[in-house]
């Protein structure tokens, strides 16, 4: 079996890998020194496109249009870019064994890859209903969305089931974005989730009420407080019905499941220190093992602004943590500790929201959150210990979104909560 050696190896081919490669090139890397090993068949790309424009019937996104680093405001790194820079893209290659002590990785095909410095960028994998023994969860046309292959299969199913019935299991990012995308494809869409409202980890009941009302006005049916407990299929093995715990039975030609993810850390179990479900790192994304770094979804890191150890699953952190790790590895200048402000966003239909900071403390709703409004614009402040610690805004302009980010970072004091509600976005603009 083949053995190859590199100075630097990035393990994983997602968003972090593309941004890390760009930073390596910026810091200066010699041809042949850097390799990216990915089980996917394509060069790193901006994953958020898969739940949005990739599924649209018009204005559809396709590669090479959304290779990294276009999502972060940079140039697209096409496959030929890696070749030109002497960066080896080792695709269609699954690593099945990692030995951090001997600095070696072994692929499913038996090939060995040696490294001097390793950047772990393995990301997350989706939670599957088959993992929980849900009956019939292995039926055809039950989809999960993580990689471009998943999106391609979903696109084919949408084409094969025109005007069909779609059931979305889960009320988080995937649930909300996929419900919108499938509705745009003229499917009859029903969302099912166990929580009392959608996106419960971030949204308040008031924020969620707007999106649930907006989706209902678009013709999307929402069933809350129950879960899918079984599926029946037709003679072709394709899903036909979704059975819910409350006894409801839904017809479904297509089912999309979005019930969360799990960091891919199994290769490193017992070899590296872990914390909160991820690989523990410092403010430079160094792990407990020398010359091994972890970035993106798999990294648990000190969040300086809150003096807490956290793990963040979001594309913004995937990009920034990758750049930070490579600077720590390569830069001759002093590198400051990672000082990350949590940032989340989503787009669906004509809606677009952004959130910065922490969603703890008392909440203050402002603006127009009527789901029937032509141009809804509203937000929420989170206030803890007399300071604004987080801000959510739907329908904000670029300048307004910058303003709420600044407020979440600076945490200005608030003397009067009811006055804050009246001031609304004006408070953020003032700071």
What pLDDT is recorded for position 430? 81
Confidence of residue 260 (pLDDT cuts 50, 70, 90): very high
What pLDDT is recorded for position 392? 98
**Is a pLDDT exceeding 80 seen at residue 431?**
no
Question: If you search the block for the tokens 């709703």, which residue do you land on?
Answer: 365
3-state secondary structure of 321: helix
What pLDDT is recorded for position 429? 85
Q: Using one digit for the tens of pLDDT, what is the confidence trace for 36-84?
A: 999 999 999 999 999 999 999 999 999 999 999 999 989 999 999 999 9
Average pLDDT in the 302-325 region?
Answer: 97
Q: Using one digit for the tens of pLDDT, what is the confidence trace for 384-397?
A: 999 999 999 999 99
Longest dimension (CA), the chain: 70
**Is a pLDDT exceeding 80 seen at residue 1?**
no
Q: What H or E segment, with its residue span, contains residue 183?
A: helix 173-184
Average pLDDT in the 17-27 region?
Answer: 98
Sheet holding 278-280, edge to edge: 274-275, 278-280, 299-303, 308-311
pLDDT mean across residues, the chain:
97
How far is CA 380 from each of CA 355, 370, 429, rounded to the nearest angstrom?
A: 9, 14, 14
Predicted TM-score (pTM) of this structure: 0.96
* CATH number belonging to the domain at 3-125+262-330, selected among 2.130.10.30, 3.40.1170.10, 3.40.50.620, 3.50.50.60: 3.50.50.60
* CATH number belonging to the domain at 350-430, selected among 3.40.50.2300, 3.30.390.30, 3.40.50.2000, 3.30.1050.10: 3.30.390.30
What pLDDT is recorded for position 112? 98
Using the 8-state DSSP alphabet, how is residue 100 labeled? T
Domain range summary for the chain, segments of one domain joined by +: 3-125+262-330, 129-259, 350-430
Confidence of residue 241 (pLDDT cuts 50, 70, 90): very high
What pLDDT is recorded for position 426? 94
How big is the chain by its Cα radius of gyration, in Å?
A: 23
Residues 6+ apart with CB under 8 A from 254: 141, 143, 154, 157, 158, 161, 164, 165, 166, 167, 182, 187, 239
Q: Give the C-alpha separation, 291 to 214, whole Å.
A: 49
Question: If you search the block for the tokens 């971030």, which residue do you land on?
Answer: 202
Q: Give the C-alpha separation, 407 to 305, whole Å.
A: 13
What pLDDT is recorded for position 40? 97
309 phi/psi in degrees, rounded to 5: -90, 125
What pLDDT is recorded for position 7? 98
Half-sphere exposure of 72 (CA within 13 A, CB side): 24
129-259 and 3-125+262-330 share a CATH fold? yes
Q: Is 129-259 assigned to CATH 3.50.50.60?
A: yes
Q: Give the C-alpha separation, 115 to 172, whole Å.
A: 38
CA dihedral 382, 386, 387, 391 (to 10 degrees): 10
The structure tokens listed for 53 are 């424009």
Percent of the chain with pLDDT over 90: 97
Report which of 397, 388, 392, 368 is spatially closest to residue 380, judged by C-alpha positions. 392
Q: Using one digit for the tens of pLDDT, what is the confidence trace for 346-358?
A: 999 999 999 999 9
Q: Using one digit for the tens of pLDDT, what is the confidence trace for 130-181?
A: 999 999 999 999 999 999 999 999 999 999 999 999 999 999 999 999 999 9
């Amino acid at each position: 079996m083949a053995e190859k050696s590199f100075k630097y190896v990035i393990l994983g081919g997602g968003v972090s890998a593309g941004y890390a490669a760009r930073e390596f090139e910026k810091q200066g890397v010699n041809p042949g020194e850097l390799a990216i090993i990915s089980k996917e068949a394509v060069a790193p790309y901006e994953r958020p496109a898969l739940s949005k424009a990739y599924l649209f019937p018009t204005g559809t996104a396709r590669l090479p249009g959304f290779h990294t680093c276009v999502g972060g405001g940079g140039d697209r790194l096409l496959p030929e870019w890696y070749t030109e820079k002497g960066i080896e893209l080792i695709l269609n290659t699954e690593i099945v064994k990692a030995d951090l002590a001997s600095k070696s990785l072994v692929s499913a095909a038996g090939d060995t890859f040696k490294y001097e410095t390793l950047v772990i960028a393995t990301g997350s994998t989706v939670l599957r209903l088959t993992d929980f023994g849900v009956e019939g969860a292995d039926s055809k046309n039950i989809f999960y969305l993580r990689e471009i292959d998943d999106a391609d299969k979903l696109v084919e199913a949408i084409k094969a089931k025109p005007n069909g019935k779609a059931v979305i299991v889960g009320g988080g990012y995937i649930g909300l974005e996929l419900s919108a995308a499938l509705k745009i494809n003229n499917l009859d869409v029903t969302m099912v989730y166990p929580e009392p409202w959608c996106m419960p980890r971030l949204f308040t009941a008031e924020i969620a009420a707007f999106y649930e009302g907006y989706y209902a006005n678009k013709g999307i049916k929402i069933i809350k407080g129950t879960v899918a407990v079984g599926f029946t299929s037709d003679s072709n093995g394709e899903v036909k019905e979704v059975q819910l715990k409350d006894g409801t039975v839904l017809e479904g030609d297509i089912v999309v499941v979005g019930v969360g993810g799990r960091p891919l850390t199994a290769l490193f179990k017992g070899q590296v220190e872990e914390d909160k479900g991820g690989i523990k790192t410092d403010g430079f994304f160094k792990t407990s093992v020398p010359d091994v770094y972890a970035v993106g979804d798999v990294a648990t890191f000190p969040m300086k602004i809150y003096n807490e150890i956290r793990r963040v699953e979001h594309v913004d952190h995937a990009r920034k943590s990758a750049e930070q790790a490579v600077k720590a590895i390569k830069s001759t200048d002093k590198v400051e500790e990672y000082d990350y402000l949590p940032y989340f966003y989503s787009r669906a239909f004509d809606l677009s929201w952004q959130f910065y900071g922490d969603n703890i403390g008392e909440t203050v709703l402002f603006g127009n959150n009527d789901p029937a409004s032509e141009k809804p614009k509203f937000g929420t402040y989170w206030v803890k210990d007399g300071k604004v610690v987080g801000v959510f805004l739907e329908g904000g302009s670029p300048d307004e979104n910058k303003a709420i980010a600044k407020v979440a970072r600076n945490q200005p004091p608030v003397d009067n909560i009811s006055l804050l509600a009246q001031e609304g976005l004006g408070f953020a603009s003032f700071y």
